Structure 1
């Protein structure tokens, strides 16, 4: 009894070690040999019970040793003990089957050979087949038990029941991988078809459901949906509404990243929650990498606003083109410090400088240009919050206009090769100080670009809202959802253009490389998005139901805020470029002596902190700047 209990304890310890750690292949080999010995004993026992009727439990004769030796030989040939037991799958069962069939076939051949010479056999041919069945069953059962124990130890009792979106071969392969993953937290309960008419109703014995069936099914088998990155792209390009429909059914959506982005060894560990950027993604951008490398490689590049969301990503995008040095300029100390720590950690060979400075300080900027001699400038530093700038208009003009003018003048003086200005869609027919201040900066850049004696190429890029950028609506909504609402939207019909940070910064770099000087590049932002719909999507992505778990409240348009924004990204107002997502805004501004005087006068009034006079001059310099009246704001709020 003590021997049996000791054997149980040893077996349990071995399995426990196997399910927690990788074990030596020699131990797996030893266990497989032990299983084959046990199988051989069972086989000889069965044969003895049928043949002579005298039961013989232990066989240690030459026949037994021959059988086990043949089996060991094929273990070594096929290396069936080399797989990781906890991840046993279809391929492992095939290898075990090959090993066992080869052993049985060899045993029968040797049997016949010995019989033809000595008139004896190791065991009857039927016994060899019986041994094959027993050995394969026990070898595979051992692996299944270890895998199941591992799953029980590591599994969460509340594993997520999930559907897989799609029924293609790739989707089925993903489902099989998740189902065979020993460490999965997902239990695949079915497939969701993108078509309404089904040719078959089951895959891998699991049901296939259409969206209509899922909608009318009162009790669903799953609470989540897993979708591949490839499928996400296909749905986005096709402008499909499937993901929104799934969200409206209160299903949580998870994605499986691209294979090259995997960090772990388990497919389930790579599954992530779908975010807003995934729902709004578009066709991937194709950059002219060799052309960009030729322009940015081995250059000293100054990036202003480098600690901000746009500036920091421009820095990250530039790294791949191997610049000589990146000058990161910002007035925000802590974010710049955090950015520098990130670069030191991820890119230890990158040469960069962190510079605390304000773009309004001309003398400070002058010293930076003299000390570091930048060759290319990306100017992203700006004040951008519309309501705040309405209340602090002189600050908006000081940073957005004078700051840009300071850098522009220094770029000319120090013969910078390229100057890339990051503008905004709010500069188009502006109704607020922020947009008008950015438009005045655009005008100044275009005015100096007209001078043929100036060698610097001044290029302006104009795009809409960037998802997740500092101070944007996305982080604001996220904070409100974390506090369980309410989520505040200014108007039910307000729309905005959106672009991911990565997409925007890639296009900025591309535009910076293609510009000849004086152009205003407009990015294809896709279709405008209703902020109300955006709020609902974010609430659903967070696992709540809009209007039930978290309320959405309309607060009315803020000072200077438009219902709809304009990019001028249409054929009537733009010209195409070689890049399908970048257009050139047609020139619509007439420069004359009076306009140039207005530019100087605006600079003078801002420098003298004269807010009233500054705005008067701004309206003359930017005649399309027509602030919304209080009556118009009230009307839009209804």
Structure 2
């Protein structure tokens, strides 16, 4: 018997995955309407003792025909019954009221001219109540049966954070969701003292009343809009919830919900980028469109995390052609697949090339004649460049020089150089090589014969970028730990890839040449706190389920990064998140000579001499005094 029952349930589940044809729903609705008409005639016509329940007459068929007409008029049979909502109830009410009103009007005409009616007026009202109740009740029964069959016994208990209209709508959507991934058990008021009211018979509790001891898998659901607001006004609240070890999920804004699928599919886990997301960036889209529209744009490092997102951000501004330049074959292929699938109308060319190969770059410029260059290709791993200083000089400095020289040769309109906060008071080869490149870009900007606007953008670490600490921590957590942090006090500036690339485009559009644009990165973040948050977001308890260990500072690494050199000041721009660094570098004859000598040394593969020239060019460079950091190059 048990096997038969399981088989029946299995078959019902299989059938429930398919939608019932509309004509069947219309047939069922018509049958319900016909039975309602029979019952109405029977209840009204009680004078005739011989009256039978199923008595066919012209009046009954007339009432039935009018009802079926309105089924077609309002397409009340078109909805998916298992997902019945208030809109479906309103549609059934429309059809029924329209039928009742039509019959009452016809009754008046028939009584006036013929002295009789289709059915007594009281019978019409009775019919309306019976028909609407039966039609809607049928849908509710089917919906409930579907929910029982499809019930997810592993659904987790969830609180909704907030009690405003959006939060109530989220709760209503989850409660009525047939694929119950979550079971709503209450609402959390953002106020310290919650009112003793209830919503959907569910309690409203304050943050202080949230139970700390709970079953594993309990969750808190929040709207994306509210998450941004809390991050801005009360970030300690999210931190408190994470410390209670709740899983936190977010939903997009209501207008972005996909009505074609279950609401459970819209619920996404909150990640670290969400917690660090600041106010939405307001871009001057008219200025940006005017700058990039119908232009040929070259993006170096286009297969990297920053370069690929710059490409993605450029697409809405409809450039004439985007040239994707990178030396990494497979990542470049991945970017091209994304463009082919998601943006088939965008014109692009993929070019495999090394920025250190001047002849190859010259052929690219000669072939495509770009109007704008975004230069993002670089080596960025600090310890790796400490062990391979020549590659840092060759790619980060010479690669930039090659592109700058070609930009001037081919009269490029704009050249946007993507730099780093590690170029400020550098303590490693990578930062020093990028600072040297900044100086060369600024030197080119001082060339009065040049028609190119040279612009430098400088920002800190980007969350989730290739080689960043986030994917590294994530992999360690997936492997069960421990998570490795270099130092308990180390801090870094962070922003999301989306934020960084939007600001790069904005700065590139506003620049007049020679500026170093510094982005507002917010407050620096302790890497230790970041590691703890990632562990909690993954559903584990730091130091208990996933340990954190300290490995010591790596070669060239310092405890904190700076966005401005000691002698630099900043000037505001029209954008609140973008400042101009007023550089104090002295462009003397001696320094121009150092640039030439450094270039010659790199071309001759004379690493030691290139290093010495770089030290004179960037006097603020000082090797980090770390226990494990032994200079890899002889210092003069």
For normalisation by structure 1, the TM-score amounts to 0.88
SS at match of 2:472: helix
2:405 is the alignment partner of 1:409 = yes
Quote the residue 1:223 is aligned against: 218
Per the alignment, residue 550 of structure 1 pairs with 546
Shift of residue 414, structure 1, vs aligned partner: 1.9
CA–CA separation in structure 2 for the residues paired with 1:571 and 1:345: 48
Contact 1:264 1:270 in 2 (8 A): no
Structure 1 residues 57-206: aligned runs within 5 Å: 58-61=54-57, 64-65=60-61, 68-69=64-65, 71-72=67-68, 75=71, 79-97=75-93, 99-100=95-96, 131-206=127-202
Cα distance in 1 between the residues matched to 2:509 and 2:47: 88
- Counterparts in 2 of 1:178 and 1:232: CA distance versus 1, 3 Å: same
The residue number in structure 2 matching 1:446 is 442
CA distance in 2, matches of 1:443, 1:202: 64
Match of 2:490 in 1: 494
Greater Cα offset, 236-245 or 458-467: 236-245
Match of 1:246 among 241, 250, 258: 241
CA displacement 1:593-612 (0-9 Å, x = unmatched):
22122222222222232333
Aligned to 1:354: 350
How far apart are the structure 1 equivalents of 2:103 and 2:292? 70
Shift of 1:56: 5.0
Aligned pair partner of 2:29 in 23, 32, 39: 32
- 1:475 CA drift (Å): 0.9
Q: Retained in 1: the 8 A contact 2:422–2:562?
A: yes
| Distance of aligned partners of 1:260 and 1:402 in 2 relative to their CA distance in 1, 3 Å threshold | farther
Is the contact between residue 189 and residue 222 of structure 1 (CA under 8 Å) also seen in structure 2? no
The answer to whether the Cα contact below 8 Å between 1:299 and 1:323 also exists between their aligned partners in 2 is yes
What corresponds to 1:626 in structure 2? 622
**Structure 2 residues without counterparts, runs of 5 or longer:** 1-8, 631-636
The answer to whether the 8 Å contact 1:19/1:147 transfers is: no
Worse-matched range after superposition: 305-314 or 544-553: 544-553
**Counterpart residue number, 1:4:** none
Q: Tell me: CA distance 1:134–1:393, structure 2 relative to 1, closer, same or farther (3 Å).
A: same
Answering whether residue 365 of structure 2 is matched by residue 369 of structure 1, we say yes
SS in 1 for 2:481: coil
Deviations 1:311-370 (A, max 9, x none): 111112222222222221111111112212222222223222211111112222222222
Q: 1:125, 1:113 → 2: CA distance?
A: 13
Q: Deviations over 1:393-424 (max 9, x none)?
A: 12111111111111112222222221111100
Residues 524-603 of structure 1: pairs in structure 2 closer than 5 A: 524-568=520-564, 573-603=569-599
Tell me the residue number matched to 2:634: none
2:607 pairs, out of 605, 608, 611, with: 611
Of 254, 270, 273, the match for 1:274: 270
CA contact (8 A) 1:292 1:513 kept: yes
2:314 is aligned with 1:318: yes
The 1-side partners of 2:536 and 2:10 are apart by 46
Q: Tell me which moved more, 397-406 or 245-254.
A: 245-254
SS at match of 2:580: strand
Q: Measured at CA, do residues 74 and 18 of structure 1 come closer, stay the same or move farther in structure 2, by a change above 3 Å?
A: farther
Alpha-carbon deviations, 1:587-629, whole Å to 9, x = none?
A: 2111212212222222222223233332222221111111122
Does the 8 Å CA contact 1:421/1:461 hold for their aligned counterparts?
yes
Does the 8 A contact of 2:493 with 2:523 survive in 1?
Answer: yes
SS at 2:210 equivalent: helix
Q: How many residues align?
A: 622
Determine helix, strand or coil for the equivalent of 1:451: coil
Mapped to 1, the partners of 2:61 and 2:367 lie a distance apart of 84
- Provide the C-alpha distance between the structure 2 equivalents of 1:376 and 1:74, rounded to a whole number of angstroms: 61
1:625, 1:366 → 2: CA distance?
Answer: 32
Q: What's the secondary structure of 1:138's corresponding residue?
A: helix
Distance 2:567 2:78 in 1: 63
Aligned counterpart for 1:387 among listed residues 377, 383, 405: 383
Aligned equivalent of 1:297: 293
Q: Is the 8 A contact 1:314 1:505 kept in 2?
A: yes
> Equivalents in 1 of 2:565, 2:223: separation in Å?
32
Counterpart residue number, 1:478: 474
1:233 aligns with 2:228: yes
Contact 2:302 2:376 in 1 (8 A): yes
SS in 2 for 1:241: helix
Give a deviation string over 1:272-308, Cα, whole Å, max 9, x none: 2222111111111122222222222222221111111
Structure 1 residues 423 and 115, CA gap change in structure 2 (3 angstroms):
closer
CA shift, 1:146, in A, is 1.5
Worse-superposed segment, 89-98 or 156-165: 89-98
- Using the alignment, how far apart are the partners of 1:92 and 1:432 within structure 2? 66
Counterpart CA distance in 1 for 2:52 and 2:473 is: 77
Bigger drift between 308-317 and 237-246 goes to 237-246
* Other structure's SS at 1:423 match: strand
Matches of 2:364 and 2:110, distance apart in 1: 93
Select between 15-24 and 254-263 the one with higher mean Cα deviation.
Answer: 15-24
Question: Is contact 2:297–2:321 with CA below 8 Å preserved after alignment?
Answer: yes
Question: Any idea what SS the aligned residue of 1:59 has?
Answer: coil
Candidates 488, 502, 505, aligned match of 2:501 = 505
Task: Kindly indicate whether the alpha-carbon contact (under 8 Å) linking 2:554 and 2:626 is maintained by their aligned counterparts in 1.
Answer: no
Question: 1:390: Cα distance to partner?
Answer: 1.0
Is it true that 1:256 corresponds to 2:251 in the alignment? Answer: yes
Q: Is the 8 A contact 2:152 2:180 kept in 1?
A: no
Specify whether residues 210 and 52 from structure 1 end up closer, same or farther in structure 2 by C-alpha distance, changes over 3 A only.
Answer: same
